[in-house]
Amino acid sequence: MMIRLSLAALLLAAPSFAATAAPAPQARTHAEPASAVVAKLGETLDQYYVDSDVASAYRDTLARLYKAGEFNGLGGDALADALTAKLQQAHGDAHLKVYGPGHGIYGKEDENGEAALPDNAYEASGWIAPGVAYLRPFAFFGRAGDVARMQRFVDEHAGAKVLILDLRHHAGGEVSEIDVLAADLFEKPTDLAKMRARTAGWDRFEPVADTRELFVTRRDARYVEQTHRAVPRAGGARMADIPVYVLTSKRTASAGEHLSLILKRTNRATLIGETTMGAGHYGEEVQLTDGFKLFVPYGETVDLKTGKGWEATGVEPDVAVEAKQALNVALQRLGVAAVADAYPKIGEAGGMARAAR
């Protein structure tokens, strides 16, 4: 799954947006759309971006580039792409992206601004070998149906001797599904990570009050800190004593990295594969102007012991191998024959190994 300068500070740079428009009517017509988008973009970053110093750098970069005419004549996706590229050059952030009209983080949108999402975020689940449960999600959307599927998977595989979590294609999302899984992996309440967010972003985007799993531990005018905690299920964690293998790749991102990090730092899993993408900031999509949108990172997750996250560095595996070999390496460690396909197709009802239980 997955935000200090005030608006007045941004407006100090805003006059340059309007003042530098070329006097020729045609040039001014091309520049004006960019002016509004750039001004709103700088304002939004200034208010919400997770690192206020970087937010200042972004704001100054936008003002300088606009004054130099970098965005003249651009509109739509061309302007969005140019803005994203220049921001990433100023300071790389795997989550930060500007979208043109009709597009957003989930792809092309309909006339109501809605994008089509798959009904099921789980690509494969079931018994991959006797006693070995396997789950491959590509995202944690936090929807009721996805949370219920995670709970059903855990319930149906509570007697597993080993759990393999295949996160090699995981694109990110929410922590709701992680909480369901953690409730059966930890036998006692365990602090997993700290989540630190710009206060303005937290106030605007966080949808719910404190829960047992995610609660505020510190707040001031600038930042809010939350603790993410594993809370065992009421009847006791059913997978607390079994080995867990997490498969990673350089495509594993965001909430997939969050899950990888917390299971590694608590010594609850062995990570096999490649260092993950390095998308350690989480955020939300916001409207700018003229149909443009921004995915603005307003928070970050960090390790409780080191205080460090994984933005730009990724989460390193315990066993480094090519991603395509990660599953077979895990199976070999279990004394199980390799599978022919690096990404086996397993149905939710039990699939290829239904009888192997």
* pLDDT in the model for residue 8: 24
Burial category of 222 from C-beta neighbours within 10 Å (exposed 0-12, middle 13-18, buried 19 and up): exposed
Closest C-alpha among 33, 117, 15 to residue 83: 33
* pLDDT in the model for residue 33: 67
d(CA 135, CA 323): 16
* pLDDT in the model for residue 14: 30
* pLDDT in the model for residue 105: 74
* pLDDT in the model for residue 24: 34
Give the CA radius of gyration of the chain. Answer: 22
d(CA 77, CA 75): 6
- Residue 281's SS3 state is strand
Q: Tell me the domain boundaries of the chain.
A: 7-108, 122-282+298-356
- Report which DSSP code applies to 139: -
* Contact of 224 with 249, CB cutoff 8 Å: no
pLDDT digits (tens, 9 = 90+) for 22-46: 333 333 334 456 889 999 999 999 9
* pLDDT in the model for residue 30: 41
* Topology, domain 122-282+298-356: 2-enoyl-CoA Hydratase; Chain A, domain 1 (3.90.226)
Rounded to 5°, the CA angle 335-340-345 comes to 100
Work out the number of other CB atoms within 10 angstroms of the CB of residue 94: 20
Q: Output the DSSP codes for 177-229.
A: HHHHHHHHH-SS-EEEEEEEEEHHHHHHH--S---SSEEEEEE-SSEEEEEEE
d(CA 100, CA 288): 10
Closest C-alpha among 65, 69, 86, 61 to residue 21: 69
- Residue 259's SS3 state is helix
Residue numbers in the chain where pLDDT is lower than 70:
1-33, 106, 109-116, 207-208, 347-357
